Structure 1
């Protein structure tokens, strides 16, 4: 293979653009498998709530929070299934490096929507379970935890352990 096709990289990888795209595609798919299961279980549960007798007794505010939560969960599901449809539609077109970029964007969007879904669902559940002024503070605390685990820590690690090039 000539040197134009295979380029050694500073990270020790010796892969072509196509090989890199294949590897990155597999990484994205693995990430989606992790979050998609949780989103599907959460959305499935949320979709059944409206059919319970207790739902009819919820306040209008709680019903609104419920609708927002279901819509957010549906949007998260769509964003996380999107990369599979994208791959199916563009497969064989020799645009995998671009497809990987779009799949990564959809996955990140899905994670953001999952964050909003979980926060909204927690708000609803705690409002129904506690009817207490502490609920917004508890939800805010969990949201901060999610932000720390999902974004602050990875960004800190990225900044701390990657070189400036």
Structure 2
């Protein structure tokens, strides 16, 4: 980009090597994963206890199916969001950190989608059991849309809006 006043070219971004960039991105990714891991692990732990309550036997067949689906997707989300830690441990010292960061980032994105599905199906189950109201699917749909906007649309819009295309 050229500065209009003095004609000099300004450099955007950080002055770092590929390895330094990979190190920084890895630390940032781990911080992000810690937040998501905490949420999914608490939710998954809660879900695991439901089957052992007396209320579980009173659930309708549909609600039991939603519960089983939710537990399976929650397990997948948990595994996927823990995956970057395992990936790092198994490839550490192999001089492939940029590739490890890329794959860990992909795992994290998949884990967030699975977490979204887990949260939506948990909310569906809880609201169905708590209210028996026909508006439950609409409420859950509204919440899912909100999550999608907050987790994906806004970040992608921000990336597109503020990333140089030069």
| TMscore range, shorter length | over 0.9
Give the whole-Å Cα distance in 1 for the aligned partners of 2:30 and 2:20.
Answer: 15
**Residue in 2 that maps onto 1:73:** 74
**Where has structure 1 moved over 6 Å in runs of 4 or more?**
none
Structure 2 unaligned blocks of 5 or more:
1-9
Structure 1 unaligned blocks of 5 or more:
1-8
Per the TM alignment, residue 119 of structure 1 is displaced from its structure 2 partner at its CA by 0.3
**Residue in 1 that maps onto 2:84:** 83
Give the whole-Å Cα distance in 2 for the aligned partners of 1:157 and 1:17.
Answer: 24
Per the TM alignment, residue 42 of structure 1 is displaced from its structure 2 partner at its CA by 0.2
Count of residues paired in the alignment: 157
Per the TM alignment, residue 161 of structure 1 is displaced from its structure 2 partner at its CA by 1.1
Superposition pairs of residues 15-94 of structure 1, within 5 angstroms: 15-94=16-95
**Residue in 2 that maps onto 1:115:** 116
Root mean square deviation, CA, Å: 1.1
The superposition leaves residues 19-50 of structure 1 with CA deviations (integer Å, 9 ceiling, x where unpaired) of 01100100110000111000000000000000
Single out whichever of 154-163 and 50-59 deviates more from structure 2. Answer: 154-163
TM-score with structure 1 setting the length: 0.93
